[in-house]
Structure 1
Amino acid sequence: MRVTIGDPAVAGFAEVHRLQQIRYPGVTPRRQPVHTIYVPADRFSSSTVAEWGAHALGLLEEHLPVDLLTEVFGVPASLAGEVRERVAAKLAAEPVEDLRIDFEDGYGLRPAAEEDAHAEAAAEAVKRMHARGTLPRRWGLRVKSFADGDPARSIRTLDGFLTALGELPPGFTVTFPKVLMEEYLGQFSQVLARLTQDLGLPELRFEMQVEAPQTLAFLRPGLDPRLGAAHFGVFDYTAAIGLPPHEQRLDHPACDHARHVMQTAFAGTAIELSDGSLAASPASSSRHNVHALWRRHAELVRHSLRHGFYQGWDMHPSHLVSRFVTVYAFHLATYDKYQARVKAWEEQREAGDGVMDEPATIKTLAAALHRADAALALPSR
């Protein structure tokens, strides 16, 4: 064919394309936890995960017969039996997918010797869990923020924990909260690099918490090579923008805005996103109060899922029931339809109801099926 420009080479293209591949590698198909639980360090022990699971399973058995799933959670009757069966199996086999031992807000300020002792005790508990095969596949610490003005305390806790632990089981990460200044990320990353080298550990990665409007301003691809996730902090964020206490909730429009900024900043990267939590537990052990808590928590989990946040924080064993019921119902409700649409695309025909999907939609459907398979899977161990 005849052309006008003889040489189609674009000056500088190779370097720009290389940077594109670094900044936007695409979402890797790995199993992201559906939740993170955090437990104050002074309340953590090697039996914590088992205790949470037993508590949640007891609530399921006492307060959620299969015929109440529709009333409490709005689960279609056609799915109720399968959802309940899956939740019971999950609570028995893997009640916690991601664990944080908390040395920040949930722990508070303590004398130095006391926090040192809790860091060492946490390491011993993790050793026992790893030996028994009860350590969640994702786990780690939440250390204190540099924004508090005392980075040495944060570093000492992490250093002491890792030193006492010795061998590092897989799945470890560190949660770095209240990142008010971008420079804190680089400083904390340098600490992790030194600990990696001095202790002979595999590369240490961390996740940041987005808890202030200032943080939204510097979110971008390639923020730090050790950064693996960003978790939204609803209570600090809503307090920072001046919302009244009764409006500190995940489904507030201001929180939707913050989450959408996070999604926009990290789209196309390998950074995982997680939503925040509900700071409430059942007012009593009565069925009425347990159901009220479950309904509210389920509303928030559904809100997160609809907005593309597939992970959230749970703060009480009762949350495990409403988390897994809602997640399972969400995925099962669309699984067969999504699968049929992908198959129709592969066979180059229209899907049911005359749907003609675009390639981008097919990628989204395939990703949703992969996410559902991961969320519905039970551990092999």
Structure 2
Amino acid sequence: MTSPRPSLDAGTYDDVDAMLAGADEHLARTYPGDDGTRQPVHTVYVPADRFRAGLAGEWGERALAVVEEGGGTAALLDAVGVREDLRAEVGALVESKLASEPIEDLRIDLEDGYGDRGDDEDGHALAAARAVRAEVDEGRSTPFVGIRFKSFEAPTRARGLRTLDLFLGELAGSGELPAGLVLTLPKVTSVEQVEAMVLVCERLEALHDLPAGRLRFEIQVETPQAVLGSDGTALVARMIHAGGGRVTGLHYGTYDYSASLGIAARFQSMEHPAADHAKAVMQLAAAGTGVRLSDGSTNVLPVGDAEQVRAAWALHGRLVRRSLERGYLQGWDMHPGHLPGRFAVTYAYYREGFLPAAERLRIYLAREDGAVMDEPATARALAWFLARGTDCGAIAVAELETAVGASAADVDALAGRPGR
């Protein structure tokens, strides 16, 4: 058979490559995709004056006590809506998690949850850094830990910078920084604030002999200006790129954002239409950049009698499930009693989807005919779902490999992640 003869000459191919070289470089630089590292399923905020070494373990013990106060594991799983056929395995996973790693990401709060303590803040910032160092040295630190300092708005800017400086200096001066160190920049209202944070990171790296780019930070989206700037653009998208690769996450602030729009307190919620709009803009802005998303929190705590605890679990569980289904794999937890429901709903979410996703991926990789004809993009999404399920402990690597008929490394490669 005669080979087809295209009519375009080699020069045209070269011209097209030359025309698109700049666009290719821009795409690779600004939309590198996720780096494949672990993302915590939640962030726990603790005021700095209440933080101490060993706090995570205390929260785990308190969470288990709340489960008993609310009627036991069966009552928890019923309240958050875990399927009957999954309850035994999910219940065991939750109990194990609360005993071994009850907090994945701990944020020492020196902002709203802490308040204005004047010069006492210096001591609390230094004490927090020493407690983090003690946990790291003893091998019992949470996988991710860091601080939320005060915003770069004019009234709190100097205080926020001083606290960040003191905390980081104490931590860096006593050893290697924790691998999972996270810094949180709150109430961002302008691209310039992100640029200022980049400058501060550069100066701190130089002062403490840290590698360039070592310090990275989250942006809290809790002001209208972050979602819609005065020029009519989504400033949150520009903020990500102004970070020069240092921005790791966008965290939605439920109550500050809602209040700033004039929403009455009793209607402020993670599922308010205004919240959904803001989070949809955040999701679009972050897509392809490698910046992770986190939903906010509920202020309804599982306290009181057993009926009140179960009602709070039901609300929290529904909100966690809603976030997961919308692509928000992380959220905030404000009380030990939130932890059991967070993990129960997260584990159930991945366990429910595990076998169907694994079977579709197995058929795709084996090039067999199945009930669904999946395209490469869907296969990648299936692999991504399964990889994230193993990250949080909902799916064991061995059972993943058995169900898919491929190695975890193959699944990671299909998901576009580096090897484990």
Q: TM-score, normalised by structure 2?
A: 0.86
Shift of 1:69: 4.8
The residue aligned with 2:263 is 243
Matched, 1:176 2:185: yes
- Residues 1:66 and 1:228: Cα distance change in structure 2 (over 3 Å): closer
1:277 to 297, 315, 318: 297
- Residues 1:124 and 1:295: Cα distance change in structure 2 (over 3 Å): same
Shift of 1:51: 1.1
Contact preservation (8 Å) 1:206, 1:229: yes
Shift of 1:13: 1.5
CA distance in 1, matches of 2:101, 2:332: 16
Letter matched to residue 209 of structure 2: G
The residue aligned with 1:209 is 220
Shift of 1:35: 0.2
1:329 to 348, 352, 372: 348
The residue aligned with 2:161 is 155
Matched, 1:3 2:7: yes
CA distance in 1, matches of 2:284, 2:323: 16
Shift of 1:67: 3.9
CA distance in 2, matches of 1:355, 1:207: 38
Shift of 1:66: 4.7
Matched, 1:25 2:32: yes
CA distance in 2, matches of 1:100, 1:340: 38
Contact preservation (8 Å) 1:90, 1:378: no
Contact preservation (8 Å) 2:219, 2:251: yes
Shift of 1:62: 4.3
1:190 to 199, 208, 218: 199
1:370 to 361, 377, 387: 387
Letter matched to residue 88 of structure 1: E
1:140 to 146, 150, 170: 146
1:86 to 83, 89, 93: 93
CA distance in 2, matches of 1:236, 1:2: 60
Matched, 1:338 2:345: no
CA distance in 2, matches of 1:179, 1:68: 40
Contact preservation (8 Å) 1:250, 1:276: yes
SS at match of 1:222: helix
The residue aligned with 1:299 is 318
Shift of 1:349: 1.9
SS at match of 1:56: helix
Shift of 1:71: 2.8
Aligned residues: 375
CA distance in 2, matches of 1:115, 1:239: 26
> Which digits, 9 at most, give the CA deviation of each residue in 1:46-101, with x for residues without a partner?
12111111100222244354543553122111100000000000000000000100
Contact preservation (8 Å) 2:252, 2:279: yes
Contact preservation (8 Å) 1:66, 1:81: no
Q: Which one is further off, 194-203 or 184-193?
A: 194-203
The gaps in structure 2 that reach 5 residues or longer are 228-233, 397-420
Root-mean-square deviation (Å): 1.7
Which consecutive aligned stretches of 4+ in structure 1 deviate over 6 angstroms post-superposition? none
Contact preservation (8 Å) 2:30, 2:289: yes
Letter matched to residue 111 of structure 1: G
Letter matched to residue 30 of structure 2: R
1:77 to 84, 87, 104: 84
CA distance in 1, matches of 2:188, 2:332: 18
Letter matched to residue 224 of structure 2: P
> Which digits, 9 at most, give the CA deviation of each residue in 1:348-371, with x for residues without a partner?
1233xx211122111111110011
1:266 to 270, 286, 289: 286
Within 5 Å, which residues of 2 pair with 1:56-71? 56-69=63-76, 71=78
Contact preservation (8 Å) 1:69, 1:80: no
CA distance in 1, matches of 2:43, 2:278: 19
Q: Which one is further off, 315-324 or 237-246?
A: 237-246
Q: Which one is further off, 9-18 or 239-248?
A: 9-18
Matched, 1:356 2:363: no
> Which digits, 9 at most, give the CA deviation of each residue in 1:10-36, with x for residues without a partner?
143122201110111122222100000
Contact preservation (8 Å) 1:29, 1:370: no
Shift of 1:283: 3.9
Contact preservation (8 Å) 1:66, 1:80: no
Matched, 1:38 2:58: no
Contact preservation (8 Å) 1:339, 1:369: yes
> Which digits, 9 at most, give the CA deviation of each residue in 1:130-149, with x for residues without a partner?
12222111110000001252
CA distance in 1, matches of 2:287, 2:380: 14
CA distance in 2, matches of 1:293, 1:67: 15
Contact preservation (8 Å) 1:83, 1:328: yes
Q: TM-score, normalised by structure 1?
A: 0.94
Matched, 1:219 2:198: no
1:257 to 262, 277, 281: 277
Contact preservation (8 Å) 2:187, 2:220: yes
Contact preservation (8 Å) 2:106, 2:142: yes
Shift of 1:377: 5.9
Letter matched to residue 59 of structure 2: W
Contact preservation (8 Å) 2:350, 2:395: no
